[in-house]
Amino acid sequence: MKTYLSLSSPAEVETECLVVVALDRTEKDRTEKDRSDDRNGKNRGDRDKPEASIEASDSAIREAARDIVGSGEVTGKIFETTLLHHPAKLKAKRLLLVGGGRAKNFSAFELRKMAGTAVRTLKPKGVRSFAFVAPSNGLSAEERVRAIVEGAFVGDFDPDTYKSDRKDQRIDSVTVVATGDQGRLQKALEEARIIGESQNFTRELVNEPSNRMTPTMLAEHAKKMAQEVGLKCEVFGADKIKEMKMGAFWSVAQGSDEPPALIVLRYEPAGAPEKPVLGLVGKGVTFDTGGISIKPADGMEKMKYDMAGGATMIGVMRAIALLKPKIKVTAIVCATENMPSGKAQKPGDVQIAMSGKSIEIINTDAEGRLVLADGLYYARQLGCTHLVDAATLTGACGVALGYVNAGVFANDDQMYERFNKALGKAGEKMWRLPLDEEYKESIRSNIADIVNSGGRWGGAITAAMFLKEFAEDTPWIHLDIAGTAWMEDNKAWIAKGPSGIAVRALVEFAKDFAA
């Protein structure tokens, strides 16, 4: 999808469709006279009457929408869409009003979803290009441009890759109509395009079925991407994994006929300081049966998405290589299948991780933390001074936080604060969970140093406590994206399927480190 910037008057923009945000101002701040009238019984009938506001300074747009807004059909309710053909006094062929919800709550988070909603409304109607008028509601001009472009890319992705009758419904181009400094707005637009493309690249990887995205194939995708954007890429196989004594990683891989792949991507820009070095570690389990502790059949087909953490890190590295922040970044993806076979590890086995720690295997379905254990330690061996891992690690995190927030764990408050700041810029929702020392009791083993499963209670936390053993004192953040890496239903702004969660936040995090 191509992206363009226009500083023209919205009414003068020639486009297949002009998109404008409508907000609900029913809950607007009320004057003291309003409050006095309310106390005296006046205005009672009008107080809760919907009051839609067209967020465009161009009077021609407001005039074109006046009748339908006046009729009460447009309320500004979030995700509400109203399409007008041949709007009077506009050069656009259509005018689409997209509801953004209550004005007092409107932010870049909602604006991204409005852009996605516009894309998903127009695609089935055969519209191939449109222009989106940036609203002036409480955001900087650059924030508005970024949110619109990123949201449009999110909305443009569809998972129906292998349908024989797949319809061509892609959006060819989106134009952002805005006001402000052209140079700064153009830069914001280009950065947002790179991030949006990288998020969708991650989603494409996650969407592939496991027979078309084996560990070897994932490594090939990473190598191809690295060549295109100028990253260094190394891929190591089973012999090297065993030679480096990655016993935790190998214990998962040993049960599969598909060879594992240790993928290492390096971004080392000229002029970057020696430190910090950001290490990104991703779980790349391309299919997870649970191993000997096999999962129920119901829903197992979705376990192709268990490499979403690894795909996230590959997508982040693509964006970083193109955005060129002045910071060294190394990404490590431990890719394997988790299969039951005569070679597979068994509950009760003891494995020795690369760090030398011994691990008693309680549940072979708690495999993600095993591959990450060696990935985190290896990142430290490569000189990474700050670590972030991402993984579809525990169903327990989804139970705790549902499908709205990903889980965040951190052993360093200052690093967490920087990441939380990046979350705000990226418009992604995550919630910090505790790492109190008392939880460590749940992962103590009688025969080894630690167990790989602390049981049912606090499962997301005990999994994070396991990983903390391998991060040790290195500042570290763990993202449990199990509940958010896959959209369970079609939404107005995003398709059912992979979400690409954490790509935007991690790119912002890396940029902040560079700054």
> Among the options 62, 102, 295, 421, which is catalytic?
295
223 in catalytic set? no
- Alpha-carbon Rg for the chain, nearest whole angstrom, is 25
User: Which two tokens mark 272?
Assistant: 């970057």
Beta carbons of 109 and 90 less than 8 angstroms apart: no
CB within 8 A of 285, min separation 6: which ones? Answer: 252, 306, 307, 335, 336, 337, 338, 367, 368, 371
DSSP structure class, residue 337: E
Helix (H) or strand (E) holding 284: strand 277-288
In angstroms, the Cα distances linking 153 to 115, 148, 193, 201, 220 are 9, 9, 8, 11, 24
**Residue 501 and residue 427 in contact, taking contact as beta carbons nearer than 8 Å:** no
By CB atoms closer than 10 A (0-12, 13-18, 19+), residue 328 is buried
DSSP annotation of 444 reads: B
Cis peptide before 276 (omega within 30 of 0): yes
Q: Is the dihedral of CA 150, 151, 156, 162 positive or negative?
A: positive
Nearest to 328 by CA among 257, 251, 378, 269: 269
Q: Indicate if 184 belongs to the active site.
A: no
Q: Active site residue: 94, 369, 380, 418, which one?
A: 369
CB-facing half-sphere around the CA of 318: CA atoms within 13 A: 25
Q: Is 27 exposed, middle or buried (0-12, 13-18, 19+ CB in 10 A)?
A: middle
Bridge-partner residues for 234, per DSSP?
Answer: 264
Task: Give me the active site residues, please.
Answer: 295, 369
